[in-house]
A and B are shown apart, each in its own frame.
Chain A
Amino acid sequence: MGKGVFFVAEQRDGALRKVSFELASTARKLADQLGEEVGAVLCGSGVEAMAAELAKYGADKVFVVDNPALEPYTTGAHAEAVAQVVKQNNPSILLCAASAQGKDLSAALVGKLATGMATDCTDLRIENGRLVAIRPMYAGKCYGEVVVSTDPQMASLRPNVFPVVENAKAGAVLKVDVALGEAKTKVVEVIKDVGGKIDVTEANIVISGGRGMKGPENFVILEELAALLGAAVGASRAAVDAGWRPQSDQVGQTGKVVSPNLYIACGISGAIQHLAGMSSSKYIVAINKDPEAPIFQKADYGVVDDLFKVVPEMTKEVKKLLG
């Protein structure tokens, strides 16, 4: 069995993604329980400067694989690079993110390392020296506890679930040269979504407006708050039917199903058809002047008041908090 809790950091467009800090913090916690070290694996081109940030969140060592062939991301190159680092250093645990890129990478890694993996975990702990992963099963109907019996024990973490904890460590940078071989795939073009708007299904925070918004022009107050919070603006079917918002913004049974960290429902009654589209949100806040509105049964926090009073107030407070 190896030693060390490693994780694969994710970076894009010259910056580390938030999930890398979640991975670092989790790896740190596990390493402390095992009395081992945390190693970060950072692959890319011109990424050495990012190593310091990983140290802030608990990385004892940062293995930097700096190679032009690693930018932009391709499955083959990154999997090969990480696999070689892992094989050379023999950690006991290897963590990835269950993000789009992380899922792609970890699938290839599992093959290269001939080991097992618990996917999309929402919690991790150490028991009798082995990693125990907790993961939702059957569309969230229940949770399963998984122990990987092979080494290194791999697990992928569901983004936005694990806390980010600052715990500055040495973060010693170790540059690694990896023989990548012939590239099997080549990225020809990266087409970015020009919208500029965050898609409701991808956003961390969604602020939705319903019939209570009374008109398309009033959605600006939601958009203002959303801009501050980095949120996406959604709509209930009533608002879309009335032509106030486009269909792509519709959240519900016949629209999009979203599961953000925070869902703020403004002027939405919360009929079951809407709930079907957002009930798996982590936290639900409802603002509605009707105290009988069904959404209050589902909301974690509810404000029974006129949204045209509440939302601007919220925006003012958020501005103050953000400084």
Chain B
Amino acid sequence: MGAVHRPPFHGGTMELSHFSVGHEGREVFWNAEHFEPFLFLFAFVALVIFAYGIYRRWLMWAAIGKAEPEDRKDNVKVRIKNLLINGLLQKKVLEDRFPGIMHALIFFGFLLAFFGAAFDASEFHIAEPLGFAFLTGKFYLFFSFLMDLAGLAILIGVFMALDRRYLSKPDRLGYRGKPDNTPDDAIALLLIAGIVITGFFIEALRISVTWKETPWEIWSFVGWTLASAMNGISEPTARALHKGLWWVHTFIALGFIAYIPFSRLLHIVTTPANYFMATLRPTGTIEPIRDFENAESFGVGSLEDFTWKQLFDSDACTRCGRCQDGCPAYLTGKPLSPKKLIQDLKTYWIEKAPAAIAAKKEELRAKIAQGTEKEKCQAALAWLDKLDQTLDKYLPHRVEPVEKALVGDVINLDELWACTNCMYCMENCSASIEHVPKIIGMRQYKVLMEADFAPELQLTYRNMENNSNPWGVGSHLRGEWAKDLGVKTLAEDPNVEYLFYVGCAGSFDDRGKKVSIALAKILQAAGVSFGILGAEEGCCGDSAMRGGNEYLYQTLAQTNIEVMKGYGVKKIITACPHGYNALKKDYPHFGGDFEVYHHTEILAKLIADRRIKLKKPVTEYATYHDSCFLGRYNNIYYEPRRILKEVPGLQILEMERNFRKSFCCGAGGARMWMEEHGDRINDARAKQAIDTGAQTIAVACPFCLTMMSDGLKTHGKEETIVALDIAEIVWKAMGLEEEKAPPEVCQT
């Protein structure tokens, strides 16, 4: 190919002839002169469509939902940090290896490509005319390489995604083996692939013409390789194809931008927004019902009872299904799936939105008519309204929503009550969605407004009301477990450092009492100053709160707080993670401000400070079951393990689902008190524990203790494997007490 006559570029100095080895660069708009104004016109149109799409969506975000109790815009520095770490650095997404890498390739590739285009544009419009081109020389070579790498990364990511969704078909991209693919999923991926592939071909076609003059283009290695394959193409053909493909590329790319608000690509906007708005409150905090006296309705009975943020969560959801993959209810065959819950709410929201938006517009019009809104508003509203109505004629028709019951039709009762509040969904959600408060909200309506809940729960609540414990054992017997131990009540001696809040299981359940006794003996041996409330202690109310009976919970909480404050309690130790969580995170809402410690925190410190010594072996192989309310709710993962490591000769065998991915025992969310049908969550978890080969299952929660013990019995392992609380293991390891020989059974 010889030098071909090229028409001079319009005024600029970026002609091909300008460049040479040592002064590398590229002629922007090569072969595409005069396209520029059109490019800007179409880009403008695309942006307008994008903006309009966001506006329509924003109407939906603003149409339904109550005010948020938490200010989701405060503490801006922290929120921006979250946004950058999760959004820009993709931290949450990358927690899962294959899909994380898959998305990161597309995301970072796109980010680079976007900046690449921005560089090009600023080079062309700003730098060049002002005389300081920067996209030249070594930087240009590096830039070229990076851009091609980015495109390649995107393509690899897209192929990974296509394989994952259409070939591998993991369960989480569906529900119970049925994939939930929509055409939109394919369109989004194909659009992206289209942009990159056309881009590479455009580059290749250009290089196929200019390569002799621009040998450095080898740094655009993909384009260069493609160009080599196009050896036989004549220059006119190449140029014609180049021009055509240039337009195709433009339309796909601009179409992509315009398509964003109307497709799953909206997550580009909504998911980062969710990172920014993610709750800064302590993990697992539930907003209490503040005004029982005057509120007319409690809990969430209809979509309108959710807050706007709770509904917005549904728009941030990308149906990735990580929540479903670890949900203990879903994995044992219950109809509940956190993903399905969020998506069902979204579907219902979209159905209800048109009527709600129309109502809001009416409101606004009424305000304008009364002269309480500015005239400008009126004009803008009228114009937008007209636009909305015109477009609605052509947009897919929305069916008039049938009045459905939120709980009953949209979310069915079995789904609602299957949740154990374990927070696997929230912890592992890559979009910072908050599932559990929605479930509790809906349960509150069922319990407080409709009195429609399981009869077993009725018994439980009644027992808590009458005797301040779910089993209905006489409340005067609460301190009996400590009778022979020399443990004083605060009534007898309030001058102690810690209140040992025993909790219902530790006070009344025979199995639980053994844990309380072990802990009390350890604390006494270590010389820790503590006392108990005895009969003055009340149920913490956690099961009532999570079972939707907010009123009962508040009654119990306030009673406890009054008693504790009366004794001037400052520090509390408890052996039950549910009590721990309630005292630490929920009681402050009612003025209960205490320093709360779980017994594993205290024991770990006592061991580290050498105030207690573990000298006797207890078991050779133990597996530790992370309690949801200790782990995910309160980040206490290492203390129990540190303790176990100090037991002579003990080796910890970890289960696969541990730490933040731990599998619930099934008792949380008031499920301890309810009948369970089908595969049992605790049996499934016990199997996981048994499969490690451990002889002991170590737990740190009375619920887990009951559930794991029962699970062992189901699998017939109760003779060979034992479930023990950490306190019991520590006490045994301290070797201060001879094991009692089993009593003689009289033979008659």
Contact = CB atoms under 8 A, between A and B. Distances in A.
B580 interface: no
A291 B462 contact: no
A254 B674 contact: yes
A274 to B, nearest CB: 10
A257 B471 CA distance: 11
A297 B460 contact: no
A3 interface: no
A253 B459 contact: yes
A254 B742 contact: no
Contact of A304 (B474, B714, B746): B746
B713 A238 contact: yes
B467 interface: yes
Nearest to B673: A253
Contacts of A211: 713
Contact of A254 (B456, B474, B511): B456
B673 A138 contact: no
Interface in B43-81: none
Interface in B642-672: none
B225 interface: no
B510 interface: yes
Contacts of B462: 139
Contacts of A291: 742-743, 745
A299 B94 CA distance: 58
A141 interface: yes
B459 A241 contact: no
B291 interface: no
A304 B459 contact: no
A272 B473 contact: yes
A253 B466 contact: no
A275 interface: yes
B678 to A, nearest CB: 12
A254 B675 contact: yes
B378 interface: no
Contacts of B714: 241
B511 A271 contact: yes
B136 interface: no
Interface string B700-737: 00000010000001100000000000000000000000
A292 B471 contact: no
Interface string A279-298: 10000000001011010010
Contacts of B511: 271
Interface string B487-529: 0000000000000000000001111000000000000000000
B510 A294 contact: yes
A103 B466 CA distance: 24
B688 interface: no
Contacts of A241: 714
Contacts of A254: 456, 673-675
A107 interface: no
A141 B251 CA distance: 78
Contacts of A255: 675
A167 interface: no
B743 A276 contact: no
Interface in A137-192: 138-139, 141
A141 B477 CA distance: 13
Contact-size category for B? 20 to 34
Contacts of B674: 254
Interface string B466-478: 1100111110000
B283 interface: no
B463 interface: yes
Contacts of A294: 510
Given A241-B714, A254-B674, A279-B472, A292 B456 contact: no
Given A238-B713, A253-B471, A271-B510, A276 B459 contact: yes
B472 A138 contact: no
A251 B472 CA distance: 15
Contacts of B472: 139, 276, 279
A279 B472 CA distance: 9
Contacts of B509: 271-272
Contacts of B466: 138-139, 141
Interface string B668-707: 0000011100000000000000000000000000000010
A275 B463 CA distance: 13
Given A254-B456, A291-B743, A292-B742, A272 B508 contact: yes
Given A141-B466, A241-B714, A272 B471 contact: yes
A276 B471 contact: yes
B467 A272 contact: no
Contacts of A138: 466
A218 interface: no
Contacts of A270: 510
Contacts of B706: 271
Contact of B510 (A139, A247, A272): A272
A304 B742 CA distance: 14
Max count, chain A CB within 10 A of own CB: residue among B471, B510, B675, B714: B510
A101 interface: no
A297 B745 CA distance: 16
B463 A276 contact: yes
12 contacts: A253-B459, A253-B470, A254-B675, A255-B675, A271-B510, A272-B471, A276-B459, A276-B463, A279-B473, A291-B742, A292-B742, A297-B510
Top 7 A-B pairs ranked by shortest CB distance? A294-B510, A254-B675, A254-B456, A276-B471, A272-B509, A139-B466, A272-B471
Interface of A: 138-139, 141, 211, 238, 241, 247, 253-255, 257, 270-273, 275-276, 279, 289, 291-292, 294, 297, 304
Given A139-B462, A254-B675, A291-B743, 11 more contacts: A238-B713, A253-B456, A253-B471, A253-B673, A254-B456, A271-B511, A272-B508, A289-B745, A291-B745, A297-B510, A304-B745
